[in-house]
Amino acid sequence: MIDYRAHASAFEGVRKSLAAESWGDPAMTAARDETLADVALAPDHALLGAFVDHLFTHAVSDGTEIALLERSSALWGQGLELYELLGSARKDLESALANPGNPASADLFNGAAMDSQRLAQGMHALQASIFSLRDDIAAQPHLPDHPRQLDEPASNWDWGNFHLARRTDAFARTLADRADDPATRAFAFGALTAYGGNACGSAYVGHVVGGPRRAHRFRDRLARNTLGSWIAAHDASIESLATMSQRLQFGAASAPTLPAAVETLIQHALSGTFDLTHTQPVPDLQLGYRRLVRHLELLDDFVRPSLPDMPMPVFTAKLFGDPANPPPTIRPQDATVTGDTGGGVSVGTNTPGEPTPGKDDSKKTSGSVCGAILALLILFAILLVVAFIKCVIEWADGKKCNYFEELGDLITGLFKKDEPDPRDPPTSENPGMSSAGLTAFAGTDQAVQLVGYLWDMQIQLWEALENSYSYLAATGLIYPDGLLELPLYEQFTAIPGAGGWPHRPAADSGGSYHLYPTSPLENPTETPSPFPSKATPNVFAAGQDRRAATPAGVALPVWEQIARGDLDSPNLDLDADRGFQHQCWSTGGSIDDDPLNVVVLGYDEH
């Protein structure tokens, strides 16, 4: 099963390939023209068809993934707001300090002080929600076990997994057969491109993962999302996920609804393809549709912030003018604390990392570091802001404030304790700096120090957001957009060299999915894909070469057969569970048997 962007790419590849086809048979040409006209007339229905597998998956889901993403998105938005607030407070504060004689500067300074307190309060208020979310994501409940791997009989499988592994070709044909107007025909064509996209894309994913989705669900999700990011980075025609979401919204904007004709088409295609007395009940397609639309929308919420502005030139010159006296930092230099195993520490001389996936890439490391950085940052913010407000009276007298002077030592001492004591957030208090006081303070070293500390804090906040983004990507909740060069994701963008396939599930799949599996092979072994070593995702995503293992290569022969009224194609397993072009199969015995008894199903069987 591939992601939204790969499906969008597959759709476009198959459509272009169909448009380029020619036959001597006028009936075929007319059929082609009708399909292309349908897609042009109802492109959004076609896109919805291309996401039919995701529609089913959302319909049978318990809603965990959307719920986690909703919480993540909300916290991400609040984090961005605080980041912007700090940027704005810095700007005002620097402006006031650079122009202390300006009558408006004292108010600007006091406003910045108030904003800083709001910042520390806001960060403190978010802390519990962030840690709770991190812990809830850590178990990755959004990626449940595959029923085949649990030895469940197919009749017990949810429709998300069932429709990818049973009568797949037949379902695509039945959709096309029952579609009777441009919109439903466009939907059916989209579903056919999804058939081709999944058959090829899943083979690529399974190859780079080291085994099929059912055995490596965490690693599969990481690879699937990576491919989506890769495709978006290499194909400018791929729309944003938010745009896709907009396109899929039918009916009232406030309550998008799966078009009745499409819902009916799917229902008829299911009953025409499967014996529904031997399956789970057909899920609520409207619910799946609403989640699909929302999921696409949420995925685009995670926009990384721009970097913090440098301090104003006058302060930059003071902070960096003498390399022998670097700007002060409020980060402890000898140790940072995590409170979690697997978290980040920094003791002694640092060393370079490895360019290959390793323990740096584990979910646990990401989560611990994410939490540790946040905990540090919140404490820094509270201590700094408290010091800031406490010192205003002395600063206004042109004096050096000892409390501020000792801030570095205080913080270092604090973090020698694992974990540091929590601190209450500051109260809101207008420091009441006067114009005369500001003038007295503006020229002091501590004014420059304050500017430097706040700049350092905004950098830390940027890095905390970056760590959160990294954690959400590493747990498969969001796309790793912008992270593709990191070893964790880069491993999925080139086919590995020869090696046995598929691997059985790893003993600790939740803790080691960032690594290529070294678990025993599942016999009989198979060839995962026809893709050569080093091949990048465009080997299947380009999709227009119908002779190759591309979506067009799989989908167009089926389209032709539908148009001619022929039936001579197998049902392909759309997870490429036993390799490319493997047919739908059932387990003759247990999934843990060695060798596995792979029973290829007849065309009509499920």
Partner 1 sequence: MTPQPPEQGPEGQGDDREPVDLRPYLCIPYWSAPRFAGDTPDSGQLRPLPGDVVSWLCPGIHASPYTPGAKLEVTVDVRNSGRGNAAVVASVVVYWVDPTVGFSKPTLLGATVASVPPRGGRATTPTVSGVIPATAPDHICLVALVTHPLDNPGTVIDPVGDRHWAQLNLVRVKAAAGIPVQLAFLAVNPFAHEAIFEIDVHRMEMDVLKQLALSLKAEPSDVRVHVRLLDDRAGHERDAAARLALDAGGRRVFNLTVDVAGELAPEQMTAVEVVLRSDERREPVGSLGVVIQGAER
Q: Which residues contact 30 (CB under 8 A, 6 or more apart)?
A: none
Least gap, CB of 540 to partner 1 (angstroms) = 18
Of the listed pieces 122-130, 281-289, 467-475, 585-593, which binds partner 1 according to CB under 8 A? 467-475
Given a contact cutoff of 8 angstroms between Cβ atoms, the answer to whether 33 and 27 are in contact is no
Rg (CA), the chain: 29
Nearer to partner 1 (CB atom), residue 398 or residue 496:
496
**DSSP-assigned letter for residue 278:** G
Nearer to partner 1 (CB atom), residue 341 or residue 427:
341
Cα-Cα-Cα-Cα dihedral sign, residues 218, 223, 225, 226 = positive
Applying the rule CB under 8 A, the residues between 501 and 520 that interact with partner 1 are 508, 511-512, 514-516, 518
Cα-Cα-Cα-Cα dihedral sign, residues 474, 475, 481, 484 = positive
138 binds partner 1 (CB under 8 A): no
**DSSP-assigned letter for residue 521:** B
Nearer to partner 1 (CB atom), residue 43 or residue 358:
358
Chain centre to alpha carbon of residue 188: 28
Nearer to partner 1 (CB atom), residue 54 or residue 318:
318
Of the listed pieces 13-21, 62-70, 127-135, 486-494, which binds partner 1 according to CB under 8 A? 486-494
355 binds partner 1 (CB under 8 A): yes
Nearer to partner 1 (CB atom), residue 372 or residue 440:
372
Least gap, CB of 222 to partner 1 (angstroms) = 12
Least gap, CB of 98 to partner 1 (angstroms) = 16
409 binds partner 1 (CB under 8 A): no
Among 117, 193, 226, 338, binds partner 1 (CB under 8 A): 338
**DSSP-assigned letter for residue 419:** S
Applying the rule CB under 8 A, the residues between 193 and 252 that interact with partner 1 are 210
Nearer to partner 1 (CB atom), residue 331 or residue 390:
331
Here the tokens at position 305 are 């912030």
Cα-Cα-Cα-Cα dihedral sign, residues 165, 169, 170, 175 = positive
Q: How many CB atoms lie under 10 A from the CB of residue 146?
A: 25
Here the tokens at position 125 are 């208020």
In terms of Cα–Cα distance, which of 569, 576, 603, 556 is closest to 214?
A: 576
In terms of Cα–Cα distance, which of 274, 288, 227 is closest to 484?
A: 227
522 binds partner 1 (CB under 8 A): no
Residues in a beta bridge with 503: 521
Dihedral angle, C-alpha 313, 317, 320, 324, nearest 10 °? 180
317 binds partner 1 (CB under 8 A): yes
Least gap, CB of 441 to partner 1 (angstroms) = 24
83 binds partner 1 (CB under 8 A): no
Of the listed pieces 20-28, 49-57, 285-293, 462-470, which binds partner 1 according to CB under 8 A? 462-470
Q: Which residues contact 334 (CB under 8 A, 6 or more apart)?
A: 347, 412
Nearer to partner 1 (CB atom), residue 360 or residue 419:
360
Of the listed pieces 159-167, 285-293, 343-351, 561-569, which binds partner 1 according to CB under 8 A? 343-351
Among 308, 425, 476, 505, binds partner 1 (CB under 8 A): 308
467 binds partner 1 (CB under 8 A): yes
Cα-Cα-Cα-Cα dihedral sign, residues 270, 578, 7, 17 = negative
487 binds partner 1 (CB under 8 A): yes
Least gap, CB of 128 to partner 1 (angstroms) = 22
**What CA–CA distance (Å, rounded) separates 481 from 303?**
9
Least gap, CB of 487 to partner 1 (angstroms) = 6
Nearer to partner 1 (CB atom), residue 4 or residue 462:
462
Least gap, CB of 16 to partner 1 (angstroms) = 31
Q: What is the DSSP string of 281-294?
A: PPP-HHHHHHHHHH
**What CA–CA distance (Å, rounded) separates 461 from 210?**
37
**Site size toward partner 1, by CB under 8 A:** 72
Applying the rule CB under 8 A, the residues between 529 and 558 that interact with partner 1 are 533-534
Least gap, CB of 161 to partner 1 (angstroms) = 26
Here the tokens at position 401 are 């404030």
| Cis previous bond, 595, omega within 30 | yes
Nearer to partner 1 (CB atom), residue 59 or residue 319:
319
Here the tokens at position 371 are 């939490």
312 binds partner 1 (CB under 8 A): no
